[in-house]
Amino acid sequence: MVPNEGAVWHTNRRLTLTGFSLLDWITLIFFGLAWFGYEFVVDSTAVRHRSLNRTIDEERHHWMQEMALVDNRIMDSNLHASLQNGTAFFASTALLAVGAALTLLRATDDVLTILAEMPFGLATSRVAWEVKVSGLVIIFVYAFFKFAWSYRLYNYVAILVGATPPAKEKNTAKAKAHAERVGGLCEVAGRHFNRGQRAFFFALGYLGWFISPWLLIASSIAVAVVMWRRQFASDSRRALIGE
């Protein structure tokens, strides 16, 4: 056997053991590029200044500056609690999703039997199924960590709100700097929350891989397009900027 033939044989053997074709690996890489490429563009390039998230971040700072002007901060505390509760809900949902995905791993034999009997050609190998489900688990675990850290940051925001100087010091450099710090921390908490939600959205796109690599490409593009439109061309953004 010539070296080139041996290399091809070992490559084909690995593909057979995993049940993945070259197209599967290419589409999986495409999925990762779609997700993290979108995240990089929206969070780290110049276009972020025109996004819905950026507009809301500016309002977070405005909120905290207004909060520092009054002594009665009950309304601010209630609004902050609603943000915390929403983050906690998504964190618990992510844990439930992890549990559901792990249940799919335990029921691999039953699932493979069902897929083999379906008329759409969905039959797959055991290893391929377990790898795909493991990827889904990783996505939901990532989302949980993002939501959990966001919840923790909102706790810190609550502490800083409580430590805000009294309104009589509202025009001092100390009070203004403190309000800016609270707004900055609130912005970071919101950023991690957004990334957790983004993981949920792309998890829906990832489900396409269970049917077809081509469907994974299509669903990844669809998710990215929908989120891009909401960030830059949605009615909500136009309402916020007054267009």
DSSP for 63-119, written as a single string = HHHHHTT-S--HHHHHHHHHHHHHHHHHHHHHHHHHHHHHHHHHTHHHHHHHHHHST
**Average model confidence (pLDDT) for the chain?**
85
pLDDT tens track, the chain, 243 positions: 444 544 433 444 444 445 677 888 899 999 999 999 999 999 888 888 889 999 999 999 999 998 888 888 888 888 889 999 999 999 999 999 999 988 888 876 666 666 666 665 565 677 778 888 899 999 999 999 999 999 999 999 999 998 888 878 777 888 889 999 999 999 999 999 999 999 999 999 998 888 888 999 999 999 999 999 999 988 888 888 876
Give which of 240, 238, 205, 241 is closest to 34, Cα–Cα: 205
Give which of 107, 189, 180, 187 is closest to 146, Cα–Cα: 189
List the Cα angle 162/163/166 in 5-degree steps.
95
User: Which residues are CB-contacts of 213 (< 8 A; sequence separation ≥ 6)?
Assistant: 21, 23, 24, 26, 27
User: Which residues are CB-contacts of 124 (< 8 A; sequence separation ≥ 6)?
Assistant: 19, 112, 115, 132
Report the distance separating Cα 124 and Cα 207, nearest Å: 15
For 204-213, the pLDDT digits (tens) are 999 888 888 8
What local confidence, expressed as pLDDT, does residue 5 receive? 45
pTM confidence score: 0.85
